[in-house]
Every structure is written in C-alpha cells, then in structure tokens.
Structure 1
Amino acid sequence: MSEPLRYHSTRSAGTVPISQAIAAGLAPDGGLYVPESLPRIDLAAFDPHGTLADTAATLLMPFFAGDALADELPAICAEAFTFDAPLRTLPAHPNTQMLELFHGPTSAFKDFGARFLAACLRRLPRSDTRPLTILVATSGDTGAAVAAAFHRQPGIRVVILYPDGLVSPRQAHQLGCFGDNVSALRVAGRFDDCQRMVKAALNDAELQAAVPMSSANSISLGRLLPQMSYYAHAALGWWREHGAPLSFIIPTGNLGNAMACLWAREMGLPIGEVRLACNANTTLPDYFAGKPYQSREAIATIANAMDVGAPSNFERLRWTYPDETQLRHLLQARSVDDAAIRQTVARHAREHGEAFCPHTATAMHLLDRLRTDGDAEPWAVVATAHPAKFESVVEPLLGHPLDIPPALAAMLARSASAEPMTADNTALREWLLAHDEAKFPVGATSVAMP
C-alpha cells in the first residue's frame, strides 16, 4: 500500500495531512496548500454508469487515502453533489457543448466546492469548542454558495466580504439574505481588497488565537479539489462516446475553476486543450502573452465575479508548471471587454435563443473567434452562473425577462442586509474581535433556506 499523500505550502516544504490542510484553508506562511505530487488515475477505475458523486469519490480518493476523512469520502460526495452538471449540446454550433454548472442552490458553480467543504468540516473533530469562523472574500458568487452550504451549521460562523456596489443587485441580495450564523460585510473597495483582508486575518497568529478561523475561498483545497469532479465526469462521458478528449474554455478570475480542470488533466483524465476567458482585467492575458507576471488593481466590469487583478491561484499554477516556457505553451488566456460581452449575449439570444450570463459570454466569445478562424474541434464552454443572477445586464440585451430558478427566487423573497466596512485590514480585525459568540450567535432562529 502506498504512503498517504501529504500536503505542503506553495512557499515552504513542511507537510500536513489533507484534513489539516482543509481545516486551515491557508498555510501558516501565507501560501496555498498543494499535494507533494499530483496522483495519476486509471480511467478504468471509474464506473461508466456512475453519477457525478460516484466520479467525484473515485477521483478524489487518492488525495484522501490514509486520512481520517477517507472512509467518509463517498458520503461526503453524495452529500455535496446532489445536483447535476449536465454537458449540453448547443444545437446551432457543431461540435460545441456547454457544461452547465449553475444548477445548485445559489445558481453558480461555487455550490459544488462550498458544499463539499462544508461536508468535510462537519466531519472533522475540533479540540477547540469555540465556533470556527469561515472567512470568505467574494466577487459575487462564492459568498452566497458558502453561506448556503454552512447556513445554520452548528459550531460554524460565516463572514462574507464583498466589494460594495461591484456585485450585481441579486448577488448582493443573496449575500445578505441568510442571517443566523452568516454576516455580510460590504467593503468600500474592490475584490482584491477583500481578498487581502481575509488573507491578513488568516495569517494573524494573535487573531487566530482569539478567533479560530478558516477560509472557504478557492485558496482552500476543500473548495478546489471537488471542482475537478465535473470536468472529469464530462470528459469521461465524452471520451466514452467519441473516443477523443474534450477541450474546455473556462471563464476565470481567481483561477480556481481553471486550476481544477488543469489538475484533472494532469491526473490523466481525457481533457484536451484548456483556454482561459478573462474580462477586461488583463493580469493573466498579459502574462500568457509573454509579459512578466504583474498583479494590478482590479477594474469593474459587467462580468464582476471575474474582477480580479491579483489571482490567488497563480501560485498553484506556477507550482504545477514550474517551467514558465512550458506553462505559456500549454495555456492561452484572452481578454473580453464589456462591449464584446454585450454583443455576444445579444447575438446568441437573437440568432440562437440562448441566454448566457456575462461570465459565460466571455468563454462563448472566445469560441466564436475559434470557429471564425476555422477551428472545428470539439469544445465545451463552461457556463459558470445562471443568467438570472445578472438580470440588469442580460435582460435588456434579450428584450424579455428571464425565468428565475426556484432556489434563487426563494432567496430574493427574503429580506437582506450587510454592514459597511472600510477596505482596511485593521477594520476587519477589530470587527472579528468585537463580534464574540454572545454578539454573533451560532444558533439559528429563522427558517432554513431551501
């Protein structure tokens, strides 16, 4: 029997088991946890008739082997993956699929990872009887997914930081509608400020001693690893039917969703090319065009969940591909501005009756360019959110209102509130210290979300 896989920071070599890496979220030195090596997997290990949850359990077992959570992994996957990630053919586009990741409770792909992380943390013993505070920086979708996954979970408190005025109105409502053990803080800044504040809090040893904390952003392995599952499931289904790998175009901001696809490919899944679709924030497109990596202040776009100027998972990307020349050869990233996003949404609605969210539209725009250039290979466009979450952008382009998924409608029917906060590390530190268990009760008093 092989030794259990161990995990270390992208910045140092000391190793921990996966349970400890998931519980911590961020490594003590500020780096991101990665396995000592990515395991390879035999495609014959997957049940050809298995569900998404079955695929996830098979795919992730090498990461958990020998860990306290290993025996629980099938149950964790069954608990987290209760909705599908269908690979749908786009009728008007030959050799084109759409991987729909928005059928979860908050209508965004973040539901998969958030629910998996919650299922893991529910099973991990803690010697500290105080509530564990889950800190989340969100550019729109992560916060609601984490709130839904941990809502009313005993022993857990969720604190969401989001850039005030830079998420869609419906996203903002989702973030503030939970109450109970979930607090939303609207930060007077950008997503990168929220992300910086969360990392500073997690790396503050004195604060951690007073307020036990973890993270549910894509910096957490508990979020990233399960996201490999829907890529594996889609690629395996395509490969069994067509005998060929499937390529993906992925909207990306913080690089977590794209990292999941790349890691699945490195494990041996039948995944072809991976292209990254970015909005007008050009940190990644500039890097893959040959410029030195340079983080910068994020700019606001209508694809706001991707408004990231300093993608955290770039550290994991460089760990995975330490040879910079190889990395730039393996990946491409393209920027799509707001005007092109609007044109793509409007054209596909007019010509094909399809409705895309602004983020999905960045990937669709890249596919349109590939087809115009004569590329006829099979591609899957990754649809990361339901367009109804962005009705103020999408509906004027469609010329009619969108149907709202039932779970989203239920959230919008609730009252919502968020506290203002300055974009300052000290402000968050003081808020966390001031909100002890008596002022921030873990017990629930309202009806649970569906």
Structure 2
Amino acid sequence: MHFVSTRHAAPPATLSAAIAAGLAPDGGLYVPEHRSQARQWQGQGQGQGQGSLVADAAAVLAPFFAGDALASHLPALCEQAFDFPAPLRALSTPGDHVLELFHGPTAAFKDFGARFLAASLARLQGGRDRPLTIVVATSGDTGAAVAAAFHRQPGIRVVVLYPDGRVSPRQAHQLGCFGDNIHALRVAGSFDDCQAMVKQALGDRELQARVPLSSANSISLGRWLPQMSYYAHAALTHHAAHGQHLNLVIPTGNLGNAMAAVLARAMGLPIGQIALATNANDVLPRFFQGEAYRPRHSVPTLANAMDVGAPSNFERLRWLHADDDDALRAGFRTAAVDDAAIRELITRRHASAGELFCPHTATAVKLLEQLRGEGVQGDWAVAATAHPAKFESVVEPLIGRAIEVPPALAALLQRPAHAEPCPPHYAALREFLLA
C-alpha cells in the first residue's frame, strides 16, 4: 500500500517512507492512496474477538503494512507496543462502559502509538550514520509518551515543545524528567503555537538537509494507525460477547485518537456511532452544527490536553469523507463541555457511584449522559484517555481525597526535571535544532 498527502501535492510514499518523514513534503498528512484501501477488514470482525490486544492489533494493521519493508516486523512491533492492557469496564449506567487507555508507562492513551512509532523507527533508523531528531508538540500527554518511548534509543534525539503554564504540574514534570536524548522546551505560548513551529520545522528543507527530522504527533502515520488497535480489540471482544456493535464517545483535541476510531469503523470493524467531545475549544462542534470550519486561537481549560484551536487531523477526516462536508456532518454527534460542567461531572459521578475520571474523560462522559437523555440506545464506551492522578490539582479538590498514583507514574515523579524556556517563534526552535 502507498500513502499520499491530504493536500494532493506530494508523490506517493511507501509506509516506511511516510513513517520516517512524519509530514508529507507539501505540509499535508499521509493517508492511504485510495479511500477504498481503508476498507480492508470487509466485515471479518463479526464473530471474532477471542484474540489478544496484540493479535487484534496485528490483524487490523496488516493491510496497511502489506508489501512494505516493515511488514515482516509487524508481529514484533505489536508485541513491543501493546504489552499493557486496554480493559473495557462497565460503568454504573446499564450499557455504558469505559475503555481504559491509561495503563501504559506515562498513564495516557498516547503510550500505545508512541511505543509503536519508536519501535518502527528503531528498525528504519538502524545502521544509519546520521541521527534522527523527533520534534513534537504536546498539549500535555503526547510529549511524555514520546519521551518515554524514545528514551535512550540510539541514533534518535527528541525535542518536545509544550505551552508553558498550560499543562498540569505532573504533566510538566514528566516532560522534563527524562534527560539524556530527550529535550523539553517550555514555549511562552499556546499548543497551537507549538504545533505551528513543529510543522514549519518539518517543512524546512534547508534545515532537513542539515538535521534529519521526523514527527511523533498524531500527524505521524506511525502514531495514527496503531491507535486503531485498541478500538478494534474492544469492538471485536464486545461483539463476540454480546452480538452488538460498540458505540464510542471520544474526547478529542487534535482529532488523532478519534480519527483512529473512524478509520477502524471504515475498515468494517463492529463499531457503531462515534460521538466527539471537546472542551471549551469548540471549533469542531461549530463545524458540525453547520458553520464553516474556522480554526481559532485555543483557550486554556481544565482538560488541557484538548486545548487545540486548529486540529490537524481534520484534514484526514475530510479525506475519508471525500471532502463532502454535508456527509461528514451527518456522520457524527459533537458537543463542547466547559470547565463548570467538567467539575460538576467529576464531583457528581464520584459521589454517586465512586467513579473517577480525568478532566478529558469527563467531557466524554458528559456527552454520553446527554445522548442517553435524548433516548439514544445501544452499548456505548467512553475512551478514558488519561489516569486522573495526572490531574490531581483539578480532581482531588473536587472529590475530597488523594488519588493513588500508578507505580510507573510515581517512578517518573521521583526523577529531577528540567525544561528550557523558548519564545513562540520558529527562529528560536530552528536555532535550537541546529545547535
């Protein structure tokens, strides 16, 4: 399978080349050369679901790896990336579930994709005499997952940009605690500023000639595709047990995680409706309510990892729907959830049912409550994107007690942390990359 840019001005690339590049030369995001190539499962998922997460990951990814140099490595890549669980647990409301994606080393869903990408690039980079620099923008969780995945990996350095003061204290500590080949830059701006700087670096051909670059944001094919795996596994397992499609509510900022679920559904896996929850950064809900798509400056919220005003993966969403905005709007439910509603949801669900959610997951639970109030039927799962212990300064005052910290996160918090200050200008990043 070959991959092309969402902007149609770059030549087709192999999977390996697209993963190594991160971003297409024309600034677009890599997608399968033909939309029909995304529909490879052909309904085979019905009746399956007895496999492990690793086995289901290898099966769902196989069509995209066919004919590529990485194809023979796919089973090993899945073993390396998916060695922790993604359990589907029932909530207090009948038919409602939570898909826990936070059992990895940095307690966030991004561990899955970051580890898969790191394992892939380790094989692609092997034997090369020039180091590769991974440059990544983060609104909170991506950077730590990427740092953990690439820490001390030979031939690779990582430069993480995050908006200073707009991530939780524990997220900031994670971003700066690795050292060695991991460099953290705290940018005096927003996530959108960080993302724009990264994209400009990836498109800077003169810089690339001197410092080979790639990305580990959800714009990366190597991050995006493997995120289908846990949705496929949950849907297949649920269908095998109950004979029903699993509907999803996904909290989203840059749309990468949600787009992975959309692609898995397009492949023919037993996934039903997909609803998208955002925080007060409501670019997507405005679009789905009929407005033109207009990126805006992001505003800080309690669900900081979703503080995105220009979601990059919207290009992929449009691509999958043939740039037909009416068809796209008809396929999803969306809602924006503000900070007051996040606080109320966390407080109430903990008091009434002992359920505990991070601020991001809370936006999705709130949307699911709204859907149930409208009479929506079927089995639904909320994607729980991060452990609530990463946001203790928000959650603990609301529930009136301390949250137990997962061992892997506790170990990271014991390490010293440091991040370099950086102005929100590309010239500063370029200078750092060349140093």
Tell me which interval the TM-score lies in, with the shorter structure as reference length.
over 0.9
- For structure 1, the residue ranges without an aligned partner over 5 or more in a row are 435-450
In 1, Cα distance between equivalents of 2:77 and 2:84 = 14
Q: TM-score, normalised by structure 1?
A: 0.94
Partner residue in 1 for 2:296? 296
Instruction: Give the letter aligned to residue 268 of structure 2.
Output: G
Return the letter of the residue paired with 1:345. Answer: I
Q: Residue 415 of structure 2 aligns with which residue?
A: 414
Question: 1:366 matched to which residue of 2?
Answer: 367
Q: Tell which deviates more after alignment, 278-287 or 117-126.
A: 117-126
**AA at the equivalent of 2:153:** Q
Deviation at 1:338, TM superposition (A): 0.1
Question: Equivalent residue for 1:273?
Answer: 273
Instruction: Tell me the distance in 2 between the aligned counterparts of 1:40 and 1:71.
Output: 19
3-state secondary structure, aligned to 1:124: helix
Instruction: Please tell me whether the aligned partners of residues 39 and 62 of structure 1 are also in contact (alpha carbons under 8 angstroms).
Output: no
Please name the residue that 2:399 is paired with.
398
**What corresponds to 1:441 in structure 2?**
none
Q: What is the identity, as a one-letter code, of the residue corresponding to 1:334? A: A
Match of 1:117 in 2: 117
| Corresponding residue for residue 328 of structure 1 | 329
The CA deviation string for residues 195-232 of structure 1, in whole angstroms up to 9 with x for no partner, is 00000001000101111110000000000000000000
Contact in 2 for aligned 1:47/1:55 (Cα 8 Å): no
Asked if the contact 1:159/1:183 (under 8 Å) is kept, the reply is yes
1:269 partner amino acid: L
Shift of 1:40: 1.8
1:7 equivalent among 3, 22, 45: 3
The answer (yes or no) to whether the contact 2:78–2:116 under 8 Å persists in 1 is: yes
SS of corresponding position for 1:184: strand
Distance in 2 of aligned mates of 1:247 and 1:49: 19
Equivalent position amino acid for 1:357 in 2: C
1:440 corresponds to which residue? none
d(CA) in 2 for partners of 1:200, 1:215: 12
User: Once superposed, what is the RMSD of the aligned Cα atoms?
Assistant: 1.2
User: Are the counterparts in 2 of residues 344 and 361 from structure 1 also a CA contact under 8 Å?
Assistant: yes
* 1:382-439 deviation per Cα after TM superposition (whole angstroms, max 9, x unaligned): 10000000000000001000000000000001100100000001110011111xxxxx
Is the alpha carbon distance of 1:127 and 1:413 closer, same or farther for their aligned partners in structure 2, counting shifts above 3 Å? closer
The corresponding residue for 2:239 is: 239
- Matching residue of 1:60: 61
**In the alignment, residue 310 of structure 1 is paired with which amino acid?**
A
8 Å Cα contact 1:134/1:156 also seen in 2 = yes
Please list, as runs of the form range in 1=range in 2, the aligned pairs for 1:163-202 lying within 5 A after superposition: 163-202=163-202
Counterpart mapping for 1:90-239 below 5 A: 90=91, 92-125=92-125, 128-239=128-239
How is 1:42-81 mapped onto 2 (pairs within 5 angstroms)?
42-44=42-44, 48-81=49-82
Are the aligned partners of 2:44 and 2:268 in contact in 1 as well (CA < 8 Å)? no
Structure 1 residue 128: Cα displacement? 4.6
Give 1:344 shift: 0.2
Say if 2:101 and 2:386, in contact at 8 Å, map to a contact too.
yes
Match of 1:438 in 2: none
d(CA) in 1 for partners of 2:125 and 2:27?
A: 24
What is the rounded CA distance, in whole Å, between the counterparts of 2:136 and 2:267 in structure 1? Answer: 29
Count of aligned pairs:
429
C-alpha contact 1:98 1:382 (8 A) present in aligned 2:
yes
* Per-residue deviation, residues 360-383 of structure 1 (Å, max 9, x unmatched): 000000111122223232110110
Matched to 2:422, the amino acid is M
Residue number in structure 2 paired with 1:389: 390
Q: Distance between the aligned counterparts of 2:370 and 2:58, measured in 1?
A: 37
Give distance in 1, aligned partners of 2:44 and 2:432: 51
Pairwise CA distance, 1:49: 2.7
- Partner letter of residue 366 of structure 2? H
In structure 2, give the amino acid aligned to 1:391. E
Question: What is the CA-CA distance between 1:44 and the residue it aligns to?
Answer: 4.0
CA distance in 1, matches of 2:18, 2:126: 14
**Cα distance in 2 for residues equivalent to 1:84 and 1:157:** 28
Q: Give the structure 1 partner of residue 33 of structure 2.
A: 36
Is the 8 Å Cα contact of residues 50 and 237 (structure 2) preserved in structure 1? Answer: no
In structure 2, what is the Cα distance between the partners aligned to 1:48 and 1:113?
A: 21
- Flag structure 2 segments of 5+ consecutive residues without an equivalent: none
Q: Given the alignment, which residue of 16, 25, 43 partners 2:22?
A: 25
CA apart distance, 1:125: 4.3
Three-state SS of the structure 1 residue aligned to 2:39 is: coil
**Letter paired with 2:180:** D
Deviations 1:210-265 (A, max 9, x none): 11110000000000000000000000111111111110000000000000000000
DSSP 3-state at the match of 2:421 = strand
Which residue matches 1:445?
none
For residues 40-71 of structure 1, the C-alpha deviation after alignment (integer angstroms, 9 at most, x for no partner) is 21454796432101101011010010100000
- The worse-fitting range, judged by mean Cα deviation, of 366-375 and 406-415 is 366-375
CA distance in 1 between partners of 2:11 and 2:426 (Å): 28
Alpha-carbon separation, structure 2, partners of 1:8 and 1:361? 36
- Between the aligned residues of both structures, percent identity stands at 65
Q: Is the 8 A contact 1:101 1:383 kept in 2?
A: yes
CA distance in 2 between counterparts of 1:48 and 1:141 reads: 29
How many angstroms does 1:179 deviate by?
0.3
Aligned to 2:264: 264
Amino acid at match of 1:285: P
Q: How far 1:126 sits from its partner (Å)?
A: 6.0
Instruction: Give me the whole-angstrom Cα distance separating, in 2, the residues matched to 1:125 and 1:203.
Output: 20
Q: Which stretch has the larger CA shift, 130-139 or 363-372? A: 363-372
Aligned 8 A contact 1:47 1:54 in 2: no
Aligned mates of 2:429, 2:85 — CA distance in 1: 37
CA distance in 2, matches of 1:333, 1:207: 39
